[in-house]
Structure 1
Amino acid sequence: MKSTNLLVLAVALLMFPQLAQTLYSPALGDIGQAFAVGPERAGQSLSVYFLAFAFGVVVWGRLCDRWGRRPVMLAGLSMYAGASVLALGVSTFNGLLLAQALAAFGAAVGSVATQTLLRDRFQGAELAQVFSVMGIALAVSPALGLFSGATLVQHFGYRGMLAGLLLLALVLWGWCLCALPETRPAALPTASLRQTLGLMLTDTGLWRAVGLVGAFNIALFSYYAVGPFVFERLGLSAAAFGYSGVLLALGSGLGAWLNKRLLKRGMHGEQLVFTAAGIALLGGLLVLMLQGSWLFVWPMLLVVLAFGMAIPNVLGAALAAYHDRLGTAAALFGLLYYLVIGAGLSLVAWLQDLGWSLLTCGLAALWLAVPRGLRS
């Protein structure tokens, strides 16, 4: 399979988990009404998603090294489709949470297996450039998710959103069946999960990457967890919240584009992450000051721009020392940072304060992103 064709398919697969989450976000208000639960409880479905996603990353990543990348991708997408069918038939909120957890477990394959096959094919500076392209694609997915989710919910309620996700999973399954190659090296030994975990637990650089991925993602997804209810309090519609995703995607896309350009000009990834953390902190402070008005959406552009700049550099460098066990290492790395994201979003849903959540994430990211030269 040509590299260009592989990248197109990889873009779609890497976008899938984020599309699945952001399509869900505009439906939170409708879900709350349908199951008679408050904003805090409805918002918990996002934290359930990330916690289940974390354990899915471990299982699928481990199986990537045992079974191969292609069969694992097909199995994960099949599980997501089955969970979506289950979600369409539930009659209680707890049943919906269970279906959401199973769907998240399946969706995790789109993240870990796709990153693993990209690391199979590309290394070093070339891998950083590939992740920059992925960053631009990921910048578009929230806009697609929010807009599509808002449209489906407006016309068909939350079940319309679930049906849309089921269709998306089936399309991706068919595409992978026809076009996804196997990239697992033939001579790759199956690394010990315990040994790999032991190496990673003592790797301070990896823990720093875990914290950075967590901080930037919690900042981004805080908007999707709390935003629908902020818009509701301001008297704005779910459709308006969906349209706001288009604006935010422009900011995230600009961040990913800037990152790609600056990498080509020789700027180091660590410098870009530190700069992005400062931008995220400024955006969080301005959101805190403006969240009583719809104007808070504008400084959110800074937060998503920072996400687009930082994440490709963090992901591209995180597992450079684990090339002999990429699937297993990616599984454990994903488990660690998705547990951080899930726990963080649980607090965000409980606090229901977007400004303070963003400010805290910005401070954490800035502290973690201090370049090594300045730490010594």
Structure 2
Amino acid sequence: MQADAPALWRHPRWALAALLAGLATIGPFSIDTYIPAFAGIGQALGASPAQMQQTLSAYLFGFALMNLFHGALSDAWGRRPVVLAGLAVFTLASAGCALADSIGMLVACRALQGMSAGAGVVISRAIIRDLCPADEAQRLMSQVTIYFGVAPAIAPVVGGWLFVGFGWRAVFGFLVLVGLLLLAANARWLPESLPPAQRQPFAPRPLMAGYRQLLVHPRFLPLVLASGVPFNGMFLYVLSAPAWLGEHLGLAPTQFFWFFLTTISGIMAGSWTSGRLAGRLPRDRQASLGFVVMGTMAVANLVLNLAWPQAPAWAAIAPVAAYAYGWALTMPVVTLMVIDLVPTRRGMASSLQSCVGSAANGVVAGVLAPLVMHSIQALAWTALGLLGIGLLAWVLLRRLVAR
């Protein structure tokens, strides 16, 4: 935490949480808004389902690639200019998507969207820790997640309305508007939380030294795996929503919002609980509690799909929403653990954490989801396996700490 943090932000804490949550909304808006228009875009551009899936993978891999550098750039040049530059590029890339006349151009602009969207997501975490002590940072991060939770709930609804009413290009026009609004708000209110005296040079040798310092830290990789991979146990169902909700559960596209609404409600409830537990329950115990919830729900989801393949939509959706609650209970705690490993490299630590998580998201989107989305049992097994990777990493971390 910076010594002059109170002077950098004189407004209420909820206002800072709302501003930073706005940066985090870029991700769900970029993904969830255009999912209802998937088939329509493919027909308009003459693209196959596999090619359309690459528009999502390109975004996620672009997000993961640039996440290696967003934090390091903010450690060198300050948080504010990197956030503003990322928002400007994202807005231009969204305009390119709206104007795309081929699937190749759309994939390229989606990749550029992903490369720029991560700036706000990554750097907002470092800003929180720059401005707040540990317990308050957990509360603020939980608030950010609560506000952020609204975006995935409304994004598919907005995307569906825009697609039906105005066509698929209007979906990306909406993202242009989101980018412009966020750029204006952050240009007006976002403080610079990293003093020049604490900045690190963006040069090959010190940059590689910083990456090496994090990668050889015995707790780093277990922490980033524990924070990034379990999310995909839930994200797998978001990616598979057209097949899972439409083919298996028999829901119309206008009914998809029930899944997003219940899942986001789980995230918001878990984030609220995490904020309430800050300073009252040790971080490791809170994270372990979240893993217990996720593990219980992943097993329950598998048993349900094996024993009751024709379960009604509400019964199939409920375990995923409860899983989301457990993930949100864990996420703020583990994220702060990562950022606090090397206090002089908070931006870089957040970058690497997001890079690993985004790479996992890209693999799930480009490889796993297309393979398993047409079987509810395969979806359940895959979700349990993804959680298992994160859970093993967390158990390893606890043993390292115990030593």
For the criterion TM > 0.5, the same-fold answer is: yes
How many angstroms apart in 1 are the aligned matches of 2:54 and 2:233?
A: 16
- 1:205-250: CA deviation from partner (whole Å, max 9, x where unpaired): 1111211222222123212210122222144222211342112111
How many angstroms apart in 2 are the aligned matches of 1:218 and 1:50?
A: 13
Moved more, 10-19 or 195-204: 10-19
Q: Is 1:68–1:182's contact at 8 Å kept on the other side of the alignment? A: yes
Residue 198 (1) aligns with residue 247 (2): no
After the TM superposition, list the runs of 4 or more consecutive aligned residues in structure 1 that deviate by more than 6 angstroms.
none
Q: Is 1:51–1:338's contact at 8 Å kept on the other side of the alignment? A: yes
Aligned residues: 375
Residue 348 (1) aligns with residue 356 (2): no
- TM-score norm. by structure 2 comes to 0.86
Residue 134 (1) aligns with residue 144 (2): yes
How many angstroms apart in 2 are the aligned matches of 1:327 and 1:79?
A: 20
Pick from 2, 8, 12 the counterpart of residue 10 of structure 2.
Answer: 2
Residue 71 (1) aligns with residue 81 (2): yes
Q: 1:38: how far off? A: 4.6
Provide closer, same or farther for how the CA distance between residues 250 and 73 of structure 1 changes in structure 2, counting only shifts above 3 A: same
- TM-score norm. by structure 1 comes to 0.92
Residue 57 (1) aligns with residue 57 (2): no
How many angstroms apart in 1 are the aligned matches of 2:54 and 2:286?
A: 33
Runs of 5+ in structure 2 lacking a partner? Answer: 1-8, 374-378
Amino acid at match of 2:10: K
How many angstroms apart in 2 are the aligned matches of 1:365 and 1:321?
A: 19
Q: Is 2:237–2:244's contact at 8 Å kept on the other side of the alignment? A: no
Provide closer, same or farther for how the CA distance between residues 281 and 64 of structure 1 changes in structure 2, counting only shifts above 3 A: same
How many angstroms apart in 1 are the aligned matches of 2:165 and 2:216?
A: 51
Q: Is 1:40–1:352's contact at 8 Å kept on the other side of the alignment? A: no
Q: 1:36: how far off? A: 4.2
- 1:39-73: CA deviation from partner (whole Å, max 9, x where unpaired): 44433432322210012222322221222222111
Which residue in the other structure is 2:376 paired with? none
Provide closer, same or farther for how the CA distance between residues 40 and 280 of structure 1 changes in structure 2, counting only shifts above 3 A: farther
**Within 5 A, what are the aligned runs for 1:299-338?**
299-338=319-358
Provide closer, same or farther for how the CA distance between residues 279 and 47 of structure 1 changes in structure 2, counting only shifts above 3 A: farther
Provide closer, same or farther for how the CA distance between residues 157 and 375 of structure 1 changes in structure 2, counting only shifts above 3 A: farther
Percent identity, aligned pairs only? 25
Amino acid at match of 1:337: G
Amino acid at match of 1:2: R
Runs of 5+ in structure 1 lacking a partner? Answer: none
Q: Is 1:269–1:313's contact at 8 Å kept on the other side of the alignment? A: yes
How many angstroms apart in 1 are the aligned matches of 2:55 and 2:234?
A: 16
Q: Is 1:13–1:114's contact at 8 Å kept on the other side of the alignment? A: yes
Residue 209 (1) aligns with residue 223 (2): yes
Moved more, 78-87 or 58-67: 58-67
Pick from 265, 270, 282 the counterpart of residue 255 of structure 1.
Answer: 270
Q: 1:161: how far off? A: 1.4
Pick from 363, 366, 374 the counterpart of residue 388 of structure 2.
Answer: 363
